[in-house]
């Protein structure tokens, strides 16, 4: 006699939904398949959200969501400059914004970070001014903006400690990346689809103090000029 009988152990294995004639119900099979697919989709969506918010999850990385950069394909250059500040403060209590190198800056002041080549630097002036090599070799932290997250595992030291003794924190630019890009669009032909490189490194100003200026270079439009970080006015040319 087939099937389960009282007094005998039930056969092992999962219960299979049966149809009226003893076969597997097609409706139940469809339900199982839909359930598996739904779980897979939710897992992929969860992984995407986690990556977008937290980045790769590797040590010394931060996701764009947690930095307030919702779309890394149109990342705001001004937001990038300040968003990593709290992380820098956890590295060194006196960390201050110190410079940046942005490649592929478009006419709206944003960048496609999948192309890379975007770095923001913060410096600890107390470390930079220290004559102890073990201290001053950990004076500048680099934040590298990549396709999925920002990595900040690299620090560098200072070459000439003496030149740093009079260094003071930089004032945040009142002519930001967006404002600068707007000026370049109006006066230099920086239009949609074209990009320029924007740089600032305070160390270069030590030897010859001058007005803090963005250095802008590009091939299309052809440009190699400096613009005031306070007013956006052109300061001098190469």
CA 214, distance to chain mean position in Å, is 21
162, part of any domain = yes
Same domain, 86 and 147: yes
Q: Does 9 map to a domain?
A: no
Number of independent structural domains in the chain: 2
Q: Let me know whether 29 and 103 are in one domain.
A: no
pLDDT tens for 115-146 read: 878 999 999 999 999 999 999 999 999 999 99
pLDDT band, residue 211 (cuts 50/70/90): confident
Percent of the chain with pLDDT over 90: 62
CB 157 within 8 A of CB 145: no
Residue 99 located in a structural domain: yes
Which two three-digit tokens encode residue 144?
Answer: 């590298």
* Same domain (yes/no): 153, 37: no
Same domain, 130 and 47: no
**Domain shared by 183 and 228, yes or no:** yes
Judgement on whether residues 102 and 211 belong to the same structural domain of the protein: yes
Residue-wise pLDDT tens digits, 54-88: 445 678 999 999 999 999 999 999 999 999 999 99
| Full residue range of the structural domain in which residue 233 is found | 61-237
Lowest-confidence region among 20-34, 38-52, 60-74, 217-231: 38-52
Query: Quick one: 27 and 145 in the same domain?
Result: no
Together in a domain, 144 and 34: no
Q: Would the pLDDT of 221 be above 80?
A: yes
Tell me if 209 is assigned to some domain.
yes
* pLDDT of 13 strictly over 80: no
Which residue is it, tokens 């305070």?
202
Query: Is residue 169 a part of any domain in this protein?
Result: yes
pLDDT band, residue 20 (cuts 50/70/90): low
Q: How many CB atoms lie within 10 A of CB 139?
A: 24
% of the chain with per-residue pLDDT over 70: 71
> Which one is predicted more confidently, 139 or 4?
139
Residues facing residue 156 across a β-bridge = 140
37, 54, 71 — which closes off a domain? 54
Question: What would the mean pLDDT of 215-221 be, rounded to a whole number?
Answer: 95
5 in a structural domain: no
Residues 28 and 80 both lie in one domain: no
User: Distance between terminal CA atoms of the chain?
Assistant: 98
Residues 95 and 208 placed together within one structural domain of the fold: yes
Whether residue 161 is contained in a domain is answered as yes
Q: Tell me the average pLDDT across 164-181.
A: 92
Close Cβ partners of 237 (under 8 Å, ≥ 6 residues apart): 224, 225, 226
Task: Mark whether 30 and 147 lie in a shared domain.
Answer: no
Q: Is residue 119 part of a domain?
A: yes
Q: Are 35 and 145 in the same domain?
A: no
pLDDT of residue 27: 64
pTM of the predicted structure, to 2 decimals:
0.74
How high does pLDDT run on average in the chain?
Answer: 82
Using 50, 70 and 90 to split pLDDT, how confident is the model at 191?
Answer: very high
């Amino acid at each position: 006699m087939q099937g389960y009988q009282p007094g005998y152990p039930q056969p092992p294995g999962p219960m299979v939904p049966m149809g009226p004639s003893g076969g597997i119900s097609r409706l139940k099979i469809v339900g199982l398949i839909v359930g598996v697919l739904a779980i897979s989709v939710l897992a992929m969506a969860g992984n995407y959200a986690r990556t977008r918010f937290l980045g790769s999850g590797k040590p010394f990385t931060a996701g764009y969501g947690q930095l307030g950069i919702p779309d890394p394909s149109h990342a705001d250059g001004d937001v990038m400059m300040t968003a990593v500040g709290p992380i820098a403060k956890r590295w060194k209590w006196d960390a201050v914004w110190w410079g940046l190198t942005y490649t592929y800056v478009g006419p709206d002041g944003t960048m496609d970070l999948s192309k890379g080549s975007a770095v923001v630097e913060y410096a600890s002036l107390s470390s930079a001014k220290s004559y102890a090599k073990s201290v001053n070799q950990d004076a500048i932290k680099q934040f590298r903006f990549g396709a999925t997250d920002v990595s900040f595992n690299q620090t560098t030291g200072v070459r000439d400690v003496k030149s740093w003794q009079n260094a003071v924190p930089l004032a945040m630019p009142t002519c930001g990346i967006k404002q600068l890009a707007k000026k370049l669009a109006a006066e230099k032909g920086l239009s949609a689809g074209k990009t320029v490189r924007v740089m600032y490194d305070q160390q270069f100003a030590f030897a010859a103090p001058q007005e803090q200026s963005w250095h802008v270079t590009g091939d299309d439009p052809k440009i190699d000029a400096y613009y005031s970080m306070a007013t956006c006015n052109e300061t001098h040319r190469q």
